[in-house]
Structure 1
Amino acid sequence: MTTIKGVLFDFSGTLLRIEPAESWLRAALTASRTTMDDAEIVRRAAALERAGALPGATSPTEIPDALADLWKIRDRDARHHRAVYTGLARQVPLPEPELYDALYDRHMTAAAWQPYPDTAEVLAELHRRGIRTGLVSNIGWDLRPVLRAHGLDRYLDTCVLSYEHGIQKPDPQLFALACQELGLDPSAVLMVGDDRTADGGATALGCAFQPVDHLPVDRRPDGLRPVLDLVG
């Protein structure tokens, strides 16, 4: 068996988790200086979640026909990503039109993301052992400032983001780029992620794969620690 010399991680649901829809909506309301009754906030937040309007949270229960084609390629281009998620949000009536962009802008802030309890510990230990590490994400915006704000960027050797390359997981090309950035053959690289289809696509290239559960941070205290037992 080839010794693992590098580890690639997914972002959302693997290293960090997006905030709940209610706090997301409250933050956007505050940013846009819009008031809404508390009970209404709870109702609208639930509706936004059902619509799949919060990136990194649950997928839409139903994708509108007008957005169906764009949904499939949303992570290949920043404009597609914003158009899809603001479009999903617009299915839910909100008091001010600027709120839809305020919601999208909020989800790109460090405050909207919380690392899993063992994220920093596992990344730091891999770094200490001399293991090359990177991040591979299907995403439509630059997440590096979020990593930096949470003190995680120092442990990562590369970030390969789908929208910067016009390629999205599970396309093996995206994983190949990440392996090249690490300077490692795919057979020496482990991919860790919460999506067995998208992240598991790394196995087509010869990478190993370790799944984790996409759970709230308080329900997954040590989901990443098994990675430490798999590396050399």
Structure 2
Amino acid sequence: MDARKWVLFDVGGVLEIVDDDAWQELWWQRWCARTGIPRPEFDARVAGAQLPPIDIVAGREAEFWKGLGAALDLESADQDAMRADFWDAYCGQANTDLIEYARSLRDRAGVAILSNSADGAREEEERRFGFSQIFEPICYSHEQGVNKPDPQAYLLALEKLGADAADVFFVDDHRFALDGAARVGIRGILHRDNAATIAAIEEFLAG
């Protein structure tokens, strides 16, 4: 096992400034209005399209967007616009201060990512934020095949870290994700602001 301590970060709502609980519904409403399809019909068309579950499968992003575009009768340009708008909403803005703090930790601890995700997130977030220059490993749900708070999500991350749960500190903006981490012995903090999160990380590293 790796004897280092590790800090494991969620992405949306932590490393990215985005309202994880609102952006998807707002994006859905935006495209319901843009297509002019009444919401019940919009939802029914999408449900009937049998789209791949891109939060827990990789390599099917193109199939997902093609199927969604077909279900909504979108022209190619509108399909591209919908996908681009999705990733803009998904990624939000960089939490620059916390990202740079994570970068500063690399001489003192391992820094890694564990995030529920969508197929394509690795490429989009790398293009926008260059996460691979700071975090290693990056554990995405669509690549691991399981979402938080399933215990397997954390166990797979621990395996990639080569670390014991007691040596890992997890930062997430959702209580359910922290509860899942606690079930396998990983401590953490519910992220609400950078100052409190950084203070908690420093306390963990000093312990």
TM-score scaled to structure 1, two decimals? 0.61
> Displacement of 1:18 after TM fit?
4.7
**Aligned positions, number:** 186
Equivalent residues in 2 for 1:127-166 (5 A)? 127-129=106-108, 131-145=109-123, 146-147=125-126, 149-166=128-145
Q: Which amino acid aligns with 1:143?
A: A
* Cα RMSD, aligned residues only: 4.2
Gaps of 5+ in 2: 32-38
1:5 maps to: 5
Q: Please say if 1:75 is aligned against 2:22.
A: no
The 1:152/1:163 distance shift into structure 2, 3 A limit, reads closer
> Displacement of 1:174 after TM fit?
1.4
The 1:200/1:52 distance shift into structure 2, 3 A limit, reads farther
Aligned partners of 2:116 and 2:140 also within 8 Å: yes
The 1:212/1:124 distance shift into structure 2, 3 A limit, reads same
The 1:113/1:98 distance shift into structure 2, 3 A limit, reads same
> Displacement of 1:171 after TM fit?
1.1
The 1:81/1:199 distance shift into structure 2, 3 A limit, reads farther
Instruction: Give the distance between the partners of 2:94 and 2:162, measured in 1 at CA.
Output: 27
Counterpart of 1:203 (choices 159, 168, 182) is 182
1:15 maps to: 15
> Displacement of 1:115 after TM fit?
1.4
TM-score scaled to structure 2, two decimals? 0.68
Aligned partners of 2:61 and 2:119 also within 8 Å: no
% identical equivalent positions: 25
Instruction: Give the distance between the partners of 1:115 and 1:82, measured in 2 at CA.
Output: 28
2:43 maps to: 64
Instruction: Give the distance between the partners of 1:49 and 1:223, measured in 2 at CA.
Output: 30
Instruction: Give the distance between the partners of 2:174 and 2:29, measured in 1 at CA.
Output: 20
Q: Which amino acid aligns with 1:77?
A: V
Q: Which amino acid aligns with 2:203?
A: L
Aligned partners of 1:133 and 1:182 also within 8 Å: no
> Displacement of 1:186 after TM fit?
1.1
Higher helix share: 2
Aligned partners of 1:139 and 1:161 also within 8 Å: yes
Gaps of 5+ in 1: 20-44, 54-60, 214-219
Instruction: Give the distance between the partners of 2:68 and 2:177, measured in 1 at CA.
Output: 23
> Displacement of 1:10 after TM fit?
0.8
1:34 maps to: none
SS in 1 for 2:14: coil
The 1:188/1:160 distance shift into structure 2, 3 A limit, reads same
1:190 maps to: 169
Instruction: Give the distance between the partners of 1:52 and 1:200, measured in 2 at CA.
Output: 33
1:231 maps to: 204
> Displacement of 1:192 after TM fit?
0.8
